[in-house]
Amino acid sequence: MTTRSSTDAARVIPEATVARLPVYLRALTALADSGIRTCSSEDLATAAGVNSAKLRKDLSYLGSYGTRGVGYDVDYLRYQIAREIGVTQDWPVVIVGIGNLGHALANYSGFRSRGFRVVALLDADPGIVGQTVAGVVVRPFDDLEEIVREHDVAIGVIATPAVAAQDVADRMVAIGITSILNFAPAVVAVPEGVDVRKVDLSIELQILAYHEQRKANGADAAPATDGGAA
């Protein structure tokens, strides 16, 4: 129905679908590494831990990249999803706050292999600035603007203590960063047009604790889990 050329970026993809595309991408990479060239929606859905109908609907938002009666070409679909997400190119990223978590993030190889390149590590603590982490020298937080301009950075990662998070976010936004991944246990407010995603380690544990408590409390039934695999 909709005329969609291969460079048509005007289609609207539901948020829920966008959040699953990286999972499909990972599953496809795993399949490709196993030497599998073609797969059905059922196969891929199993590998990704979702329902096959949901998978097909998700993929249909991207276009018709499968062949009825046959399935999907693993490499082709992988490329199409990568292109849609935008990870065929490398995204430069800065990490602010080189504590325990920042350390781990700087060393995380999954970033580079999935389309991201850490161009700088920043910290406000003079005791940390100058240290070498993951082969990179930690620079003072005030260098943020220079680094962002030099590498045209659009994505920033906050791994500072909670109290510093809002300040860092404000500074990032002022300099032109438009996407923030926040690991600090704090709500950061940003103006319209800036995306923030948050990852809170203890919140995830608390959610598990809630369900765990209910299991223990006898209760009536199993608390429907989110992605419980079959």
Which spans of this chain sit near DNA (rule: CB under 7 A)? 1, 14-17, 39-42, 50-54, 56-57, 59-60, 64-72
Output 126 or 226, the one with its CB closest to DNA: 226
Burial letters 81-90, b for 16+ CB under 10 A, else e: bbebbebeee
Output 1 or 229, the one with its CB closest to a copy of itself: 229
Output 70 or 205, the one with its CB closest to a copy of itself: 205
Tell me which residue of 17, 119, 167 sits closest to 182, measured CA to CA: 167
Interface with a copy of itself in residues 184-203 (CB under 8 A): 185-190, 192-203
71 binds, among DNA, a copy of itself, none (CB under 5 to 8 A by kind): DNA
- 71-73 sheet: strands from edge to edge: 38-39, 71-73, 66-67
Sort residue 3 into left (φ over 0), alpha (ψ -120 to 50) or beta: beta
73 binds, among a copy of itself, DNA, none (CB under 5 to 8 A by kind): none
In angstroms, what is the minimal distance from the CB of 37 to a copy of itself? 21
> Is 69 a binder of a copy of itself (CB under 8 A)?
no
Tell me which residue of 122, 160, 157 sits closest to 141, measured CA to CA: 122
Output 25 or 144, the one with its CB closest to a copy of itself: 25
* Identity of the residue numbered 166: Q
